[in-house]
Structure 1
Amino acid sequence: MMKFPLDAVSRARVLVVGDVMLDRYWFGEVERISPEAPVPVVRVARREDRLGGAANVARNIVALGGQATLLGVVGTDEAGQKVAQLAAEAGIGTKLVDDASLHTTTKMRVLGRQQQLLRIDFEQGPAPQSLERVQAEMSALLRDHDVLVLSDYAKGVLGQVEGLIAAARQAGLPVLVDPKGHLYRRYRGASLVTPNRAEMQEAVGRWQTEDELTERAQALRGELQLEALLVTRSEQGMTLFTQAGRAHVDALAHEVFDVSGAGDTVLATLAVTRAAGLSWEDAMRWANRAGGIVVGKLGTSVVTAGELA
């Protein structure tokens, strides 16, 4: 495999727009069962906050050596301030829209002996005026970037995604989308869409054979006017569909410890390698390698250019 194109990646300017989250981890020891209910008592020994969702995509882009600007919506709360602080510490440029009507999307995980015991989610959709501000901010930022990444976690920030794709296309920027749900018509005109296996099944139904998958994937790609459709398939690797046909890479044989955030790493790697001038197929190979590394780490994590090399 070719050398990771670090020089070209370092010049890549990626604009990430989508659902920004805070991933909060509470680590502790479990030594007894509660006398109040049959549940474990976790004595918290350590707390850790990490960027999640679209913010984790941006964090991965910077870790790989690229330049990232993050645009999303946060609440005027402690979690929103923490997102801004962590992004600044990671070297991410931010244009965070403050929305006083919502709580910043937060996923709080409680772990005992490295095993997740409980996850608590705090989430609300943004106000319509916040979405208008996202559209206006994005339009102003497009000219300073090479690639647009849309990270959709169905939390509402990409509620008007059609307008964002249209603006990027008008500006001549490739658009990479990590989708959610089954209404893929919303993403028409993007350059690349990266559903995982379950999301692809939701969009086109279950397939029995590889030929059936190819037929349905190419039909979807044509309907959405995409350059490429990449299906990430966990232990089955990744399959890329383009005008040239089908390309596949097997999963790299790493121990899978935690898949949370793996899609963010894959999307970030595709964005920086594509901005660096690589073909879709070569970009997929690097993304597959990065995904294989990150699933061996606990929680939402990053892969660095050094690890890829």
Structure 2
Amino acid sequence: MNDMIPSRQLSTDSYRQADAPQLDSVRLLVVGDVMLDRYWFGDVSRISPEAPVPVVRIEKREERLGGAANVARNAAALGAHCGLLGVVGNDEAGDSVEQILRESSIHSYLKRDSAISTIIKLRVIGRQQQMVRIDFEDTPTETVLRDKLTQFKALLPDYDVIVLSDYNKGSLVNVAEMIQLARAAGKTVMVDPKGDDFTPYRGATMLTPNKSELKRIVGSWKTEEQLTEKAQRLREDLGLQALLLTRSEEGMSLYTADEIVHVPADAREVFDVSGAGDTVIATMAAMLGAGVPLPEALATANRAGGIVVGKLGTATVTRDELFAQRRRSDGA
């Protein structure tokens, strides 16, 4: 079956092949698990007398959008018209998320759930190294999730591309219905999946699992041929137009009914992989929303992921960063 599907490899600079797209007309709605990423930076100079652990004296604190909110922030940083639908608690952390969304020019459709606390991932950084991560999380209540689904239906006419960012925290229990509604309305639907069962994502336009996420579904593989067979079978079983596999140091592979496209990793120093998948799906969604062909969108998303892993923590890539090298190569 897969022997008849052509396979090709792109170069890492394939994203330069056409003019940088205008992304300010792209209307992109992100739905999923919203988080607040907190970073405490400090100095480590001694070991605690109470236990054999380092003592970190905190000198600086930062707050950034995480989870689905980081996807939205990445899309907005590229210039897309972006909205975010999710659930946060009626608390100080939820207020912080709302404030950062405003500062990032992201339209907030957040639902406040007074029965839960906003999901927080607290990272303590000492000497530019993560010492510990502490997670605070709750599952949204059914009433709020029903309200969110109602608003999702109301928002569909206003957006062209839907990104479902699933971190398996409970905000996307209605994901199957969301996909059905969005596809029936003619929307492009991209999903960053999680968990042991991908069947709720059936009918989406594209799934973007990483290697470990794919292995949980299809099992391990030893050869590229075995991987292709498993990936294509999953794509067909779920009725996807495309399956995008992010492969860390091996780059990315895109599987469609017409071809298989590989792009090698954009070689650079890897500093922090936090949120790299968010950057990839946000870039891919924005490029497709702008009408960029799949292979070029793939190469551009690959470059964006390569840039963001060189930054600390959940970060973004701007349009200027993404296409600066293209402009230099064109003599602009």
For 1:226, the equivalent position in structure 2 comes to 240
Give me the whole-angstrom Cα distance separating, in 2, the residues matched to 1:281 and 1:229: 13
Distance change >3 Å, CA 4–CA 265, structure 1 → 2: farther
Give me the whole-angstrom Cα distance separating, in 1, the residues matched to 2:19 and 2:135: 37
Larger relative contact order, structure 1 or 2 (CA cutoff 8 Å, min sep 6):
2
Give me the whole-angstrom Cα distance separating, in 1, the residues matched to 2:148 and 2:185: 16
Tell me the CA shift for residue 67 of structure 1. 1.0
Give me the whole-angstrom Cα distance separating, in 2, the residues matched to 1:4 and 1:161: 35
Where 1:207 maps in the other structure, the secondary structure is: coil
4+ residue stretches of structure 1 with deviation over 3 A?
Answer: 3-6
Q: Which amino acid aligns with 2:203?
A: G
1:4/1:305 contact within 8 Å kept:
no
Question: Given the alignment, which residue of 153, 173, 186 partners 2:187?
Answer: 173
For 1:278, the equivalent position in structure 2 comes to 292
TM-score with structure 2 setting the length: 0.92
Structure 2 unaligned regions, length at least 5: 1-15, 324-332
2:119/2:138 contact within 8 Å kept:
yes
Where 1:10 maps in the other structure, the secondary structure is: coil
Tell me the CA shift for residue 3 of structure 1. 4.1
Matched, 1:192 2:198: no
Matched, 1:214 2:245: no
For 1:69, the equivalent position in structure 2 comes to 83
Tell me the CA shift for residue 130 of structure 1. 1.3
Matched, 1:150 2:164: yes
Tell me the CA shift for residue 102 of structure 1. 0.6
Identical amino acids, percent of aligned pairs: 57
Q: Which amino acid aligns with 2:17?
A: M
Question: Given the alignment, which residue of 141, 149, 158 partners 1:127?
Answer: 141
For 2:279, the equivalent position in structure 1 comes to 265
Question: Given the alignment, which residue of 150, 154, 163 partners 1:136?
Answer: 150
Q: Deviations over 1:217-248 (max 9, x none)?
A: 11000000000000000000000000112110
1:14/1:272 contact within 8 Å kept:
yes
Give me the whole-angstrom Cα distance separating, in 2, the residues matched to 1:155 and 1:282: 32
Where 1:239 maps in the other structure, the secondary structure is: strand
2:21/2:292 contact within 8 Å kept:
no
Give me the whole-angstrom Cα distance separating, in 1, the residues matched to 2:18 and 2:111: 38
Q: Deviations over 1:21-63 (max 9, x none)?
A: 0000000001111111111111100000000000000000011
Question: Given the alignment, which residue of 113, 117, 120 partners 1:103?
Answer: 117
Where 2:86 maps in the other structure, the secondary structure is: strand
For 1:2, the equivalent position in structure 2 comes to 17
Q: Which amino acid aligns with 2:21?
A: L
Tell me the CA shift for residue 283 of structure 1. 1.1
Q: Deviations over 1:242-275 (max 9, x none)?
A: 0112110000111000000000000100110000
How many residues get paired? Answer: 308
Give me the whole-angstrom Cα distance separating, in 2, the residues matched to 1:280 and 1:125: 35
Give me the whole-angstrom Cα distance separating, in 2, the residues matched to 1:26 and 1:191: 38
Q: Which amino acid aligns with 1:11?
A: S
Question: Given the alignment, which residue of 164, 183, 187 partners 2:178?
Answer: 164
Q: CA RMSD in A?
A: 0.8
2:21/2:287 contact within 8 Å kept:
no
Distance change >3 Å, CA 4–CA 101, structure 1 → 2: farther
For 1:183, the equivalent position in structure 2 comes to 197
1:142/1:168 contact within 8 Å kept:
yes
For 2:326, the equivalent position in structure 1 comes to none
TM-score with structure 1 setting the length: 0.98
1:168/1:175 contact within 8 Å kept:
yes
